């Protein structure tokens, strides 16, 4: 008999049937059919690769936004640009819809990233102002 578990991309520790946060996964790894285990391992490897790509893409994005922050600071422009942010949110929602991703999730993610970018821009501006 094969036991089915919902997988959210987190890894269990492979030994005692507990998930990453210590909650029960409903089965121990010894109870999982080897073919199912192979599928889980393959999918989780893909998830790990995608996670790494996301981190690297975010790092590249933040390199660009740091340059924007320095340019804004040099020209006394405000750290936030609500018009640009609204355009980007609308654009990302459309992209999410086309990719069959929840647009509300995509918007939440972009809002989180934008907040971090603004925080960086404010810190850059403060540093530029303190050197004047």
pLDDT digits (tens, 9 = 90+) for 82-104: 999 999 999 999 999 999 999 99
* Alpha carbon distance 85, 98 (integer Å): 20
* Alpha carbon distance 41, 11 (integer Å): 10
Query: What is residue 6's predicted lDDT score, i.e. its pLDDT?
Result: 43
Query: What is residue 116's predicted lDDT score, i.e. its pLDDT?
Result: 97
Query: What is residue 125's predicted lDDT score, i.e. its pLDDT?
Result: 93
129 or 32, which is more confident: 32
Of the candidates 10, 28, 8, the one whose C-alpha atom is nearest the C-alpha of residue 18 is 28
pTM (global) more than 0.75? no
Please state the rounded mean pLDDT for residues 105-124: 97
* Alpha carbon distance 83, 91 (integer Å): 12
Per-residue pLDDT at 28 exceeds 80: no
Neighbours of 125 (CB within 10 A): 19
* Alpha carbon distance 8, 11 (integer Å): 9
Query: What is residue 117's predicted lDDT score, i.e. its pLDDT?
Result: 97
* Alpha carbon distance 5, 66 (integer Å): 42
Average pLDDT over the chain reads 85
Please state the rounded mean pLDDT for residues 1-21: 46
The residues, any chain, with a CB within 8 Å of residue 27's CB and separated by 6 or more, are 3, 5, 17
Instruction: Please tell me whether residue 18 adopts helix, strand or coil conformation.
Output: strand
Per-residue pLDDT at 39 exceeds 60: yes
User: What residues form DSSP beta bridges with 34?
Assistant: none
11 or 80, which is more confident: 80
The residues, any chain, with a CB within 8 Å of residue 3's CB and separated by 6 or more, are 26, 27, 31, 32
């Amino acid at each position: 008999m094969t036991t089915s578990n919902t997988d959210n991309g987190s890894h269990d520790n492979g030994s005692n049937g507990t998930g990453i946060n210590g909650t029960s996964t409903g089965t121990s790894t010894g109870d999982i059919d080897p073919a199912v285990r192979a599928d889980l391992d393959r999918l989780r490897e893909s998830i790990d690769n995608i996670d790494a790509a996301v981190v690297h893409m975010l790092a590249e994005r933040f390199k660009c936004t740091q340059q924007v922050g320095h340019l804004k600071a040099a020209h006394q422009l405000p750290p936030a640009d609500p018009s640009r942010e609204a355009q980007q949110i609308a654009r990302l929602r459309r992209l999410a819809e086309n990719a069959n991703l929840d647009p509300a999730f995509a918007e939440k993610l972009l809002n989180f990233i934008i907040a971090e970018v603004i925080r960086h821009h404010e810190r850059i501006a403060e540093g530029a102002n303190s050197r004047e």
